[in-house]
Amino acid sequence: MTLRLGDTAPDFEQQSSTGPIRFHDWLGSSWGVLFSHPADFTPVCTTELGLTAKLQDEFAKRNVKTIALSVDTAQSHQEWIKDIDDTQAAHVGFPILADADRRVSDLYDMIHPNASETFTVRSLFVIDPKKKVRLIITYPASTGRNFDEVLRVIDSLQLTDSHSVATPGNWKRGDDVVIVPSLKDEEVLKQKFPKGYKVVRPYLRVTPQPDL
């Protein structure tokens, strides 16, 4: 199965480091970040899980739950978590799925034969409260994920879902945004953007971030 943006994230029930998880029920009304690792006790992934643990307050501010996946067993995950907590000065409290049967990996197209016939590639999915896939990033094994970018995209998605704007290149929270081209009525523009806006081109209108 090949997942694309806008698809419904597949539901599943799978064992994890914190017990059995039925994914959609576990997500509830939250956003979710699901990210995979090729195996336990790998160096880059150890740093990423530690970083994710340290960023739990930031994810919580955005109503986001995080969940990792590795093809190893829940018992192996428990041992790995001890290493992560120790080496990264962190506390991993979020679940790591035990995908030994590769059921979830297959559902989310995480096995890429050109990279490995058995291990999951390092994919990350952002899923919204309607269970729709909103972001997919696949990283090479040698490059650690940029979680500042993951948080930035979530900020953008949540902002643009609730306002008629899009975020420009390198945007971060607090920067100006652009008004979507489909919004043309002057009276509506005045109501939606009381701070005003600058017309750079008819299709390029810049306004302060509307929810600040």
Tell me which residues are annotated as active site.
45
Reading the block at residue 192, the tokens are: 């939606």
188, amino acid identity: V
- The answer to whether the beta carbons of residues 147 and 55 sit under 8 Å apart is yes
**Residue 92 CB coordination number (10 Å):** 24
Q: Judge contact between 33 and 41, C-beta under 8 A.
A: no
Residue reference for tokens 């041992």: 79
Q: Phi-psi bin for 17: left (phi > 0), alpha (psi -120 to 50), beta?
A: alpha
**For residue 207, how many other CB atoms are within 10 A of its CB?**
20
Residues contacting 207, CB < 8 A, separation 6+: 165, 176, 177, 178, 179, 193, 195, 196, 197, 198
